[in-house]
Amino acid sequence: MRLQKPVKNDQRLNVLGKALAVLQAVADHPQGVGLPDLAAKLGLPRQTVHRVLAQLRDNGLLLRDPVRERFSVGPRFIQLSLAALGSNNPWAPVRQVLQELVDEVNETCNIGVLEGLDYIYLDRIECEWPLRIHLEVGYRAAAHCIAGGKVLLAYLEPGLRGRLLRSRKLVARTSRSITRVSELEAELEKIRARGYGTNDQENFDGIVSVAVPILDAHDRVVAALTMHGPLPRLTPERCQAEVPRLRHAARRIASAWGLTRPVGGDDPSPS
């Protein structure tokens, strides 16, 4: 019987290095990237990149759009990213920013990311009011019904967003939920134009919220920052008035994650 030669350590590292390079290249293209562009960018043969892409896709780290033949980050890659962001080292200063925001606005605030049509709570700090909604970190909410989810949907590439919205039925959470794709698309365009999203009792009756995107140094949206609370304590008008404060906190969170330049003393404070 003929035995295969053992794979050397440097060969294993080379394979790992190629996989990491492909993952990084795909992550650098939030709207998806195709095989030819990846091969050209990495300076690798198309056959090699194709094989690595197939392996990463099979393991849930990448998703393939069969219509445009483009690849984007997959659910397992997102889960790994969430675990990294939730680790103790980078998270302590982020929680400090979140706590300071909650103390200032006296309402519950959260940070979340998009996975498919779900909004996942990365972190959440509740206010001291006895009347509030209790949700755990890791809780999944219908993205089309909440401010943070709508913000993240609004910044997706339109073609990808359209296919995503039509991939499953949009279920109403309340009588105010938007369930028609055309109406939701129009709402998302407004959100992108003004730079923040709102939720007027679309997920829970009597609960309103406002959310802003958290951006990296290249103005790509990586997460959303949301403030929410019950009527009549928190009104839609006050939600809009707190947008500058949320944007300031979002910049500080991005800086704590190392995604942008540190916020210095000359950074304008919210009014």
Q: Give pLDDT, residue 241.
A: 96
Residue-wise pLDDT tens digits, 235-251: 999 999 999 999 999 99
Q: How many residues does the chain have?
A: 271
Q: Give pLDDT, residue 86.
A: 57
Structure tokens at 110: 């959260």
Q: Which amino acid is at 118?
A: D
User: What's the rounded Cα separation, in Å, for the pair 262 and 215?
Assistant: 13
Q: Give pLDDT, residue 103.
A: 95
pLDDT along the chain (271 residues), means of 10: 41 73 84 86 90 87 76 74 59 87 95 87 83 68 96 88 88 96 96 96 95 89 93 93 97 86 46 46
Instruction: Write the class of the CATH domain 9-73.
Output: mainly alpha
For residue 268, give the DSSP letter: P
CA 155 vs CA 52, 149, 194, 212: distances in Å: 28, 10, 12, 11
Q: Where are the domains of the chain?
A: 9-73, 78-256
**Residue burial 180-211, b: 16+ Cβ < 10 Å; e: rest:** eeeebbebbeebbeeebbbbebbbbeebbbbb
Instruction: Write the class of the CATH domain 78-256.
Output: alpha beta
Please report which helix (H) or strand (E) contains residue 72, including its range: strand 70-73
- Percent of the chain exceeding pLDDT 70 equals 81
Q: Give pLDDT, residue 84.
A: 66
Average pLDDT, the chain: 83
For residue 232, give the DSSP letter: T
- Phi-psi sector, 137: left (phi>0), alpha (psi -120 to 50), beta: beta
